[in-house]
Amino acid sequence: EVQLVESGGGLVKPGRSLRVSCTGSGFTFGAYAMSWFRQAPGKGLEWVGFIRSKANGGTTEYAASVKGRFTISRDDSKRIAYLQMNSLKTEDTAVYYCARQTVYAVDNWFDPWGQGTLVSVSS
């Protein structure tokens, strides 16, 4: 079974850092791009960023709202994607999801998603 499991969420003060992890199983982790999304309480979905597979350069792209503060990385030997969040703001409070990204030609879709991990930023 293809599965993603996030971990590492929690309560953090504004301005501090937190790293959340996404562990994959049931598929060739290194062959896929991995994306991160978030959903603030009671709100819609927001794409945070993604990391390409090493075969496609392992490069990253980010939403403007997190660029320069968040960093996505991957360790394919451990089957883990990371989201390092620095300089956290109260508006970063959300459930953070990772998702496997399938790239076909120039199209992309996201499946499966992990169960999510809650990040709360509050003093």
Partner 1 sequence: DIQMTQSPSSLSASVGDRVTITCRASQRLTSYLNWYQQQPGKAPKLLIFAASSLQRGVPPRFSGSGSGTDFTLTISSLQPEDFATYFCQQSYNTPYTFGQGTKLEIK
In angstroms, what is the minimal distance from the CB of 122 to partner 1?
A: 21
- Of the candidates 63, 69, 76, 79, which one interacts with partner 1 according to CB under 8 A? 63
Residues in Cβ contact with 68 at an 8 Å cutoff, skipping those fewer than 6 apart: none
What's the rounded Cα separation, in Å, for the pair 2 and 121?
31
Name the burial class of residue 8, with classes exposed (0-12), middle (13-18) and buried (19+) by CB atoms within 10 angstroms of its CB.
Answer: middle
By CB under 8 A, tell whether 24 contacts partner 1: no
Backbone phi, psi, residue 30, to 5°: -70, -15
By CB under 8 A, tell whether 113 contacts partner 1: yes
- Of the candidates 61, 75, 91, 122, which one interacts with partner 1 according to CB under 8 A? 61
In angstroms, what is the minimal distance from the CB of 103 to partner 1?
A: 9
Binding residues vs partner 1 (CB under 8 A): 35, 37, 44-47, 50, 61, 63-64, 97, 102, 104, 106-116
